[in-house]
């Protein structure tokens, strides 16, 4: 087994781009079909949840739970807290949340509130980190159960997860829940998004038990084309027939493709199949993708108020978007190298007085994407 899953690291940046397009693309591009395609960028969050479950199951040995929680805190909290503080100080999305809402944002529990003023109240994208924080809390217990499953058990649990992902929003539709409540329950709520994280855990355990994808690079290319075809069909259906399926249904359609991409990426690394995703530039971009996710939206908003980006939809706007993306990557790189990684290293090395969390004996066995 490889110590790193470099192909999955490269995929992180590719998956982050649709989210950037979702939040800022429509301000640069005027083509109706392209703007409609950008609107489906939210499915990139589903990919990250599946990937997170896979990577943690793959890379984390049976270390004490409290040590695991500390390592995850060191990984995501410092950078997100800094960006949240800057957003609250200089930018606010809509109506400023009250102090409980701000505290929820810093504590990463904002997604448990069924109010967009809270879960989108600060740096809007951090709602997904609230979901990740919940995943981390329950991961040690879930990992014990996952490790005990054989091939049949993994297949049965995986099928059950997919069924639950479909049944829950179907029940919501049957009950006639209000649109804003369905949006929160089946897109924002960590309890529902945990199912995607669990799917990633199942996939990782299956690979550890010997699952491999034949011809991984070819399979990955086919999966990418299927995903592009899916989005194209959705854009065509919405443009010509007004069919706009809700977010959980679109994410469900994409989940098999995401599972295939994660499995092919892991298989490629196991068999040593290099690709453009394992190149040094993509490895840096993948490592910086978390910082890019944090900064792209507030950076666009503040530079837009300065009048940096022309309100045009032509080649000038295309050049402006390229300039914005380069700026966002530069800011993300600074956040990654000056804040995210240094503070993570310092926090990882601390003895925090939690008994079994001794650093020398509880580091993960593998470093993954």
For 18-49, the pLDDT digits (tens) are 999 999 988 888 777 888 899 999 999 999 99
Tokens, residue 97: 């949340």
d(CA 209, CA 55): 15
User: How many residues appear in the chain?
Assistant: 369
Predicted local distance difference test score (pLDDT) of residue 362: 35
The rounded percent of the chain whose pLDDT value lies above 70 is: 91
Residue 137 pLDDT > 90: yes
| CA nearest to 83, candidates 132, 49, 113, 122 | 122
Under 8 Å CB-to-CB from 156, ≥6 apart: which residues? none
> Considering the entire predicted model, what is its pTM?
0.92
| CA nearest to 35, candidates 45, 22, 46 | 22
Question: Per-residue confidence at 72, pLDDT binned at 50, 70, 90?
Answer: very high
Alpha helix segments (H runs only) across the chain: 6-24, 32-38, 43-59, 65-90, 99-107, 116-119, 127-147, 151-175, 179-183, 190-208, 216-241, 247-271, 280-305, 315-335, 341-348
- Burial (CB < 10 A; 0-12, 13-18, 19+), residue 109, is middle
Helix axes 247-271, 216-241, angle to 10 degrees: 170
d(CA 133, CA 139): 10
Average pLDDT over residues 306-324: 81
Average pLDDT over residues 194-216: 95
For the chain, domain boundaries? 6-361
d(CA 311, CA 320): 10
d(CA 92, CA 305): 13
Residue 239 pLDDT > 90: no
Tokens, residue 75: 């990984």
d(CA 213, CA 220): 10
Predicted local distance difference test score (pLDDT) of residue 368: 41
CA dihedral sign, ordered 299, 335, 91, 126: positive
- Coil, strand, or helix at residue 2? coil
The 3 state secondary structure assigned to 48-89 is HHHHHHHHHHHHCCCCCHHHHHHHHHHHHHHHHHHHHHHHHH
Per the CB < 8 A criterion, the answer to whether 219 and 260 are in contact is yes
d(CA 92, CA 107): 18
Tokens, residue 39: 């609107």
Tokens, residue 354: 């939690």
d(CA 271, CA 300): 41
Predicted local distance difference test score (pLDDT) of residue 81: 94
For 142-163, the pLDDT digits (tens) are 999 999 999 999 999 999 999 9
Tokens, residue 85: 């503080």
Mean pLDDT of the chain: 88
């Amino acid at each position: 087994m490889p110590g790193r899953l470099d192909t999955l690291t490269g995929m992180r940046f590719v998956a982050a781009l649709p989210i950037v397009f979702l939040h800022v693309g429509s301000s640069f591009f005027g083509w109706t079909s392209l703007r409609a395609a950008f609107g489906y960028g939210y499915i990139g969050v589903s990919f990250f949840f599946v990937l997170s479950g896979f990577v943690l199951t793959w890379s984390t040995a049976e270390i004490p739970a409290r040590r695991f929680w500390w390592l995850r805190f060191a990984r995501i909290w410092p950078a997100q807290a800094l960006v949240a503080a800057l957003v609250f100080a200089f930018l606010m999305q809509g109506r400023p949340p009250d102090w409980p809402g701000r505290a929820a944002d810093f504590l990463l529990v904002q997604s448990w509130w069924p109010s967009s003023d809270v879960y989108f109240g600060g740096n809007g994208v951090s709602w997904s980190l609230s979901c990740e924080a919940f995943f981390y809390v329950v991961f040690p217990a879930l990992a014990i159960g996952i490790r005990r499953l054989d091939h049949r058990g993994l297949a049965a649990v995986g099928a059950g997860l997919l069924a639950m992902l479909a049944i829950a929003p179907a029940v919501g539709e049957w009950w006639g829940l209000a649109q804003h409540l369905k949006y929160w329950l089946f897109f924002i709520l960590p309890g529902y998004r945990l199912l995607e994280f669990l799917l990633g855990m199942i996939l990782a355990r299956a690979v550890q038990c010997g699952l491999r994808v034949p011809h991984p690079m070819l399979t990955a290319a086919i999966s990418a084309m299927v995903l592009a075809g899916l989005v194209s069909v959705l854009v065509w259906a919405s443009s010509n027939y007004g069919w706009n399926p809700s977010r959980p249904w679109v994410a469900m359609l994409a989940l098999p493709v995401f599972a295939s991409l994660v499995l092919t990426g892991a298989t490629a690394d196991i068999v040593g199949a290099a690709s453009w995703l394992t190149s040094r530039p993509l490895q840096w971009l993948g490592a910086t993708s978390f910082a890019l996710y944090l900064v792209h939206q507030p950076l666009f908003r503040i530079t837009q108020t300065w009048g940096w980006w022309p309100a045009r939809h032509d080649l000038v706007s295309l050049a402006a978007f390229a300039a914005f993306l380069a700026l966002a990557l530069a800011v993300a790189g600074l956040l990654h190298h000056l804040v995210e990684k240094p503070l993570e290293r310092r926090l990882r090395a601390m003895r925090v007085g939690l008994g079994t969390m001794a650093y020398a004996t509880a580091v993960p066995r593998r470093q993954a994407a």
